[in-house]
Amino acid sequence: MKSYRRPVPNTLWLSRRPYILFIIRELTAVFVGAYCVLLLFFIYKLGKGLEAYQGMLDALKSPLSIILHLIALAFAIYHSVTWFNLTPKIMVLQIGEERVPAFLIAGANFAAWLGLSVILAWVIIGV
């Protein structure tokens, strides 16, 4: 007897909330990647001389650029948080018969993130 294969809609990724959240996580990579390109561009401008670099800094102060920065920041945070929450699945530590609890492993990542952010903030604002 013939079996029936249900068609898979093109909108499969939008069919359930967890899939949508996953796709957003994947999309964040575009923003993170774009920001890396921007940082490279900084170095390029710096190589062109102080004036070119200053011009770029001024351009970045425009409202449009600030809005884009906020969007990129939101995506970067979403990316980091969802990714750190997944780390206990990948890094499994077992001591004797017991597993190190997931919250400790994710927590260590969050702590490292916080620590590095504080150091960065200190470098940028502090000096």
Partner 1 sequence: MEETIELEIFRYRPDQEDRPTFQTYEIPFRKDWVVLDAINYIKDQIDGTLSYRWSCRMGVCGSCGMMVNGVPKLTCATFLKDYYPDKIRVEPLAGFPVERDLVIVMDDFIHKLKEIKPWIIRREGEEKPIEEGEYLQSPAELAEYKQYSMCINCMLCYAACPVYALDNTFVGPAAIALAQRYNMDSRDQGREQREEIIASNEGIWECTFVGECSVACPKSVDPAGAIQRAKVGSTIDWYKDLLMPWGGKKR
14-22, 41-49, 62-70, 114-122 -> range binding partner 1 (CB under 8 A) = 14-22
The reply to whether 48 sits near partner 1 by the rule CB under 8 A is no
Using CB under 8 A, which residues numbered 83 to 102 contact partner 1?
86, 88-90, 92, 94, 96-99
Using CB under 8 A, which residues numbered 97 to 126 contact partner 1?
97-99
Residue found by looking up tokens 């102060």 in the block: 61
The reply to whether 43 sits near partner 1 by the rule CB under 8 A is no
CA distance linking residue 28 with residue 71, whole number of Å: 10
CA distance linking residue 36 with residue 34, whole number of Å: 5
H/E element holding 99? strand 98-99
Q: Out of 4, 11, 43, 127, point to the residue binding partner 1 (CB under 8 A).
A: 4
Cβ-contact 41, 56 below 8 angstroms: yes
Cβ-contact 100, 93 below 8 angstroms: yes
Q: Which residues contribute to the site for partner 1 (CB under 8 A)?
A: 1-6, 8, 12-13, 15-16, 18-19, 22, 26, 86, 88-90, 92, 94, 96-99
